[in-house]
Amino acid sequence: MTRAEYMAKLSEKLYFIPETQRKAILDYYEEMMADRMEDGMDETSAVSAMEKPDTIAERLRAEGNYAKEESKAEDTENLTDEAMKFSSLAGSLLRTFEDLEKAGHVEVPEPPVPPTPPTPPEPPKPADDTEPRNVTTEARNFSGSIEDMCSIGDMVSSAMDYIQRHTTESLEGDYEKKVFSCPASQVRAIRLLCGEMPIRVTACEGNDLTLTYYTCDDDPYEMNLDDGVLTLERPTGAKGGSRFNFSMLGGVIKMVWNKPSPTVELLLPREALVDLQAHTTNCSIKVSDCQALCQTELKTGNSRIEVSDLSCLSLECASTNGRLVLHNIRSRQQLTGRTTNSRIEAGGLRSGGDMKLTTTNSHIEGRDLQSFGSLHLTTSNTGLLAEDCTAKGELRLTTSNGRLEVWRSEGASVTLKTSNSSIRGQMPGAQADWAIDSHTSNGKNSLPKQQPGGKPLSVYTSNGSIDVHFERE
């Protein structure tokens, strides 16, 4: 089945949902498929990885009493201040694109349209006919605003990555290119403090590491190797030119484009035993195929971090408004990833200590995650998916105003918690294997409120249903 055929069939199956709400749901699944293709899946594989249209339709029919759409005036009235600020950022971003095109820097593609999440069902009125506070509508409006924030954060990140990829040759003309090489055995730690330059770290053959970096009068950098510590940073007192300036006045965010910068590249022998610290802002960080790193710390802002095929002692990834993409990673100690207003995609992660993945206002997708400590996935105002995840300690999945899905995942204890949305999935073993504590309001519950048993299973939501079953019913 092609992508177009899948979306056409899904649209047909959702005939019972009003047009605008149906379009929002279709946009949501279209974006999910586009993300998978962006991450390297071909069209056929991306379609195969999606839920079947019949399954989606059955679930939405069971969960929602889809009412008539509310007026645009009401939607506008319920927008949060945060969403208004990020809307102004979107406008500023578009104006920046126009300035770039006029200046001849790069031809920028049309930015994506932020998706609107599916509409949750309205809670029933209480028996005394008093008018309740419409918690679900408020949650939906807030969630929609947050999704705009998340999408704009991803848009900023994608725009920066796009500009960087398409302007590399012209950028190098503004800088002096420098290359340093030495035996990796002479280095025990690497510190790349790169201001506003993208960072790429990849494995290479042989025994020598190679660092390629750039410097100029307006944006100077110095490299130093002292007592086994290789450092790249701006000289003391030097101020580099920023690629983007942000300012806010009266709740309006403005973004001003300055000039871009080239990519710092580190080629590291695959089995090199070194600590790695890579810091930048407004630019992406990518690390791949290194098999013996020690303590690894990656930090950026307003852009993405991608890590793949990595073995290390410990790993910390931190961004703001940038996506985290983490695949096939082995960490002998703790593994942490955190961002804000952007998605976390994690698959094939192993940690000898605790594993914690945290974002706000965007999705988390965790597949095949294993921790010998606790495993915590935390987000807010959007959905969370955990599939084939295990922990020797606690498995804790929490969100708010978004659906929580858990499949074939377990820990010494399990906590599933959201609000104003549903919890669904399948737990390993039989129901009798679990000591259950569950609660919801204004929704159905497939679990007993209390049940003695083995491992603790706590499941809580409000204004949503609980539909959790077991492999051995």
Residue 416, burial from CB neighbour count under 10 angstroms (0-12, 13-18, 19+): buried
**Residues 363-413 pLDDT 10s:** 999 999 999 999 999 999 889 999 999 999 999 999 988 899 999 999 999
- 8 Å CB contact between 348 and 155: no
pTM of the model: 0.67
Percentage of the chain exceeding pLDDT 90: 48
21 against 188, higher pLDDT:
188
With beta carbons less than 8 A apart as the criterion, state whether 398 and 418 touch.
yes
Predicted pLDDT of residue 453 = 83
Contacts of 313 (CB under 8 A, 6+ apart): 293, 294, 295, 296, 331, 332, 333
The radius of gyration computed from the CA coordinates of the chain, to the nearest angstrom, equals 24
CA-based nearest residue to 164, from 94, 63, 14, 265: 265
Name the one residue in this structure whose structure tokens are 């737990």: 427
The two tokens of residue 316 are 């910390």
Contact 32, 121 (CB under 8 A): no
Token pair 């930048």: residue: 280
Instruction: Estimate the crossing angle of helix 135-166 against helix 81-103, to 10 degrees.
Output: 20
Given a cut of 80, whether residue 247 has pLDDT beyond it is no
Half-sphere exposure of 469 (CA within 13 A, CB side): 3
What per-residue confidence (pLDDT) applies to 240? 61
Mean of the per-residue pLDDT values of the chain:
79
pLDDT at 155: 55
Q: How many Å apart are CA 111 and CA 156, to the nearest integer?
A: 9
Is there a contact between 445 and 463 (Cβ–Cβ < 8 Å)? Answer: no
Strand partners, 426: 407, 469
Question: If 0-12 CB within 10 Å is exposed, 13-18 middle and 19+ buried, where does residue 266 land?
Answer: buried
Structure tokens that stand for 12 in this block = 């047909």
Q: Which residue has the higher pLDDT, 101 or 289?
A: 289
pLDDT value at residue 137: 47
Decide if pLDDT at 316 tops 60.
Answer: yes
Helix (H) or strand (E) holding 28: helix 19-38
Boundaries of every domain in the chain = 3-120+135-168, 171-284, 304-473
Q: Which residues sit opposite 225 in a β-bridge?
A: 230
Output the CA torsion sign for 426, 48, 344, 22: negative
Q: What is the secondary structure of 191-206 as a DSSP string?
A: EEE-TT--EEEEEESS
Q: Hey, which residues does 471 pair with through a beta bridge?
A: none
Task: Give the pLDDT of residue 45.
Answer: 84
Contact by Cβ (8 Å): 18, 59: no
Model pLDDT, residue 91: 53
Residue 252 has pLDDT above 70, yes or no: no
**Distances in Å between the alpha carbon of 115 and those of 133, 229, 362, 436?**
26, 46, 12, 36
What does the DSSP 8-state code read for residue 75? H
| CB-based contacts of 208, cutoff 8 Å, min separation 6 | 181, 182, 183, 184, 269
What pLDDT digit, counting tens, does each position of 100-112 carry? 545 444 444 444 4
Instruction: State the pLDDT confidence band at 87, using cuts at 50, 70 and 90.
Output: very low
Q: What is the DSSP secondary-structure string of 304-339?
A: -EEEEEEEEEEEEEE-SSS-EEEEEEEESS-EEEE-
Three-state secondary-structure class, residue 379: coil
